[in-house]
Structure 1
Amino acid sequence: KVGCEFDRIVVCGGDGMFHEAVNGWFRSRSMAPLAYIPSGTVNDFANTHNIPKNDVETAAKIASDGMIDLIDAGLFNDTYFSYVAAFGFATSTAYDTPQTKKRKLGTLAYVLHALEIVDFTHWENNCVSTQIEYEGGMIEGNFLYGQISSSRYVGGMDAFTKGRYDLKDGLLEGVFIRQPMNLSELNSIIASIAKSDIENNPLIVPVQSPWFEFDGESIAWTLDGEYGGEVPHAKIQVVEQQLKVVLPKEEE
C-alpha cells in the first residue's frame, strides 16, 4: 500500500499527472489525502477547487496546511477519473497536442491543434453513433461531442456546467451534442455554448445521473485529458464522496 505511511501525498503536474495519482491512490487504498500543486497547461481540477496555478508557494502552503475534504470522483469501466470523461470532437487534442505548443501557447494550443485535425467538410466524420442510457432515460443517435463530469471547469471553460455542478451530490453531469446537419445548426450550437445556454437547444442534451452506459460503435475516450482507450461499451458511475483531497480552507 504505497503512501499509506505518509500523512499527505503531494502531486505536482497537470491534470493528467493528477489523474494517474488518483488511480494509484484508489488502488492502494491509502488513507493519506491527495494534495495538488498545479503546473500544467489548463489545470481544470485546480481551477474548480480554487488552487492557484501561477503561485507555487501558495499552492504548496495549501498542500501542507489545507482543509481535508471528501469529494465525488468517477469510474470509467475500471479506471478512475478525477473530473471528466469525454469523447468526440477535438477531445484528442488534450493528449495529442505537442508539449512545445502547450508551453508556448497555453490553452490556445488546444484550439489551434483541434482546427488542424477536424474535417469541416464532412461533419459525420467527426461524430460517433451510440446509445446512451442513464437513470430515468435513454438517448441514441450520432453525437459530435459528449462529456460526463464532476467539475466546474472542463477544457478551461464552464459553459456546460455553470449552475449545474455539485462536487458532493452523488451525480455526474452529462452533456451530449448531436450531429449538426447543416451550417445553421452548427452555428446554433456554437451560440448556445458561447452564451452558456445549453438547456434550450434541442441539439444539446444535458443530463444529471449517478451512472451512464454507452453501447454502439467503438468510441475513443479522454479521461482527465489523458487517452482513456477505445471501447464499444462503457459504464461510467459516480464514486460518491470517496476521493480524499486537500483544498483551500473555507473563508470564515
Structure 2
Amino acid sequence: MSKRARIIYNPTSGREAIRRDLVDILNVYEQAGYETSAFATTAAPNSALNEARRAAQAGFDLLVAAGGDGTINEVVNGIAPLEKRPMLAIIPAGTTNDYARALRIPREDPLESAKVVLQGKSALLDVGRANDTYFINIAAGGSISELTYSVPSKLKTMYGYLAYVVKGAELITQVKPMHLHVKYDDGEYNGIASMFFVALTNSVGGFESIVPDAQLDDGKFTLLIVKTTKLPEIITLITEVLNGGRHIDDPNLVYVKTEHIEIKPTNDMQVMINLDGEYGGDAPVIFDNFQQHIRMVANVDDMPPESFSQVL
C-alpha cells in the first residue's frame, strides 16, 4: 500500500504564501512517496486539531502542519493524546516560527521547507503537556509573554516580527511582579518573578541562545525563572542572552533541567500561560515531559549533532 500524507494548512498565514504554492508543495510530498491531499483550516474552533486527529485515526502516515506556531500547536494537540501517531512535518508561515527555527526548516519559502522531507531524515522529539494541553516549543508566563495576545493579527501580517519587537519594547517598561511557588525535580523556588519559561528547544521568541544547551529528545525541560522585576537587571539579562548565552549563570535567573514542574501563584494575581504563542489557560499549572513522543521531519544535517540522541 502507498503511504498517505495530509497537509493541514492555514490559508491566511504568511500572506497566503502556502495557498499560492500548494500545487507545488503537493508535488514535493508525492515525489517523497506519499499520496498527498490537503485540508484548509477554517475559523471554527480547533479546526486544525480536529482534522489532525481525524487524519491520524484514518491511518495517514504523515501529517504536514502548514502555518504559524499556533497551527502547528493545534496539529500536535490533535495527535499527541493518541496511542498511534503519524510522523509530522512542518511548513512555517507565521510571524516568529520558533519551532521551524529550532529544526532548521527554511522559514522564508514554503516550497523549500516542504523539500526537507526529501532528505528522508527524522527524529523522535519530546512533547510537553501543561495540565491538559500539549506544546512542542515553549510555555511561558509573565508580562512579556503576554505580548502575543496584544499584537493585533493585522499588524502581525503587515509587519511580522517587527510588530512583536515594538510591543515588547513597550511592555518591558510595564513588568509586573508575580509571587510564585515553583516545584521541579531537584528543588523549588518561592519568591518574586517577572517571567518564566519552560522550553523544549533553543528557540524562544526568535532568540536561539536563550537555551544554548537544548537537547530535543532528552525528556527534560529547561526551566528559566527571571527573579527580578528591575528594568536595568532585565536589560542586563537580555544583553547576556545576545552575547552567547552568558545569562545562564546570572544570579537573577533560575536555570535548571527538569522532567516535571508545578507552578502556582501565592497571591490572587492572574498568571496567564502562553503555550507555543497561544493562550493556554491560567496557573496553577503542572508541566510533564513526554520523551521522544512524536516523530518529526527535521533538517538534521544543518542542526548541531548534540540536538538529538538518534536520527531516523
After TM superposition, the score normalised by the length of structure 2 is: 0.73
Q: Counterpart of 1:46? A: 100
Q: Counterpart of 1:236? A: 287
Residues 88, 146 of structure 1: 8 Å contact kept: yes
Residues 62, 88 of structure 2: 8 Å contact kept: yes
- Residues 180, 116 of structure 1: CA spacing in aligned structure 2 closer, same or farther, 3 A cutoff? closer
AA partner of residue 127 (structure 1): P
Aligned ranges for residues 62-77 of structure 1 at < 5 Å? 62-63=116-117, 66-77=120-131
AA partner of residue 108 (structure 1): L
Aligned ranges for residues 101-120 of structure 1 at < 5 Å? 101-117=155-171, 119-120=173-174
Residues 63, 87 of structure 2: 8 Å contact kept: yes
Residue-by-residue CA offset, 1:198-251 (whole Å, 9 max, x unaligned): 1332111111111111122441110000001112x2111111001222223547
Equivalent position SS for 1:42: coil
Residues 150, 172 of structure 1: 8 Å contact kept: yes
Q: Counterpart of 2:34? A: none
Q: Does 1:157 align with 2:211?
A: no
Aligned ranges for residues 90-101 of structure 1 at < 5 Å? 90-101=144-155
Q: Mark the structure with the bigger radius of gyration.
A: 2
How many angstroms apart in 1 are the aligned matches of 2:167 and 2:108? Answer: 24
Structure 1 ranges of 4+ moved more than 6 A: none
Q: Counterpart of 2:189? A: 139
Which of these residues, 290, 298, 307, is aligned with residue 247 of structure 1?
298
Which of these residues, 88, 111, 118, is aligned with residue 57 of structure 1?
111
Residues 264, 285 of structure 2: 8 Å contact kept: yes
How many angstroms apart in 2 are the aligned matches of 1:180 and 1:57? Answer: 43
1:49 is displaced (CA, Å) by: 0.3
Residues 13, 37 of structure 1: 8 Å contact kept: yes
Residues 147, 176 of structure 1: 8 Å contact kept: yes
Residues 83, 224 of structure 1: 8 Å contact kept: yes
Identity %: 29
Q: Does 1:211 align with 2:265?
A: no
Equivalent position SS for 1:193: helix
Equivalent position SS for 1:157: coil
Q: Which has the higher contact order (CA 8 A, sep 6+)?
A: 1
Residues 180, 203 of structure 1: 8 Å contact kept: no
Structure 2: give runs of 5+ residues left out of the alignment: 1-52, 303-312
Equivalent position SS for 1:159: coil
What RMSD in Å do the two structures reach over aligned CA positions? Answer: 2.0
Q: Counterpart of 2:228? A: 179
How many angstroms apart in 2 are the aligned matches of 1:60 and 1:129? Answer: 44
Residue-by-residue CA offset, 1:75-117 (whole Å, 9 max, x unaligned): 1111110111101132111233112221222212112123344
Q: Counterpart of 2:137? A: 83
Residues 143, 171 of structure 2: 8 Å contact kept: no
Equivalent position SS for 2:238: helix
1:153 is displaced (CA, Å) by: 0.5
Which of these residues, 191, 198, 206, is aligned with residue 239 of structure 2?
191
Q: Does 1:3 align with 2:55?
A: yes
Residues 2, 30 of structure 1: 8 Å contact kept: no
Aligned residue pairs total 244
Q: Does 1:221 align with 2:270?
A: no
How many angstroms apart in 2 are the aligned matches of 1:186 and 1:26? Answer: 35
Q: Counterpart of 2:81? A: 27
Residues 84, 149 of structure 1: 8 Å contact kept: yes
- Residues 172, 36 of structure 1: CA spacing in aligned structure 2 closer, same or farther, 3 A cutoff? same
Residue-by-residue CA offset, 1:44-74 (whole Å, 9 max, x unaligned): 1001001111122222222466423211111
Per mean C-alpha deviation after superposition, the further-off stretch among 242-251 and 97-106 is: 242-251
Q: Larger helix proportion, structure 1 or 2?
A: 2
1:26 is displaced (CA, Å) by: 1.3
Equivalent position SS for 2:211: coil
Residues 85, 294 of structure 2: 8 Å contact kept: no
How many angstroms apart in 2 are the aligned matches of 1:74 and 1:113? Answer: 27
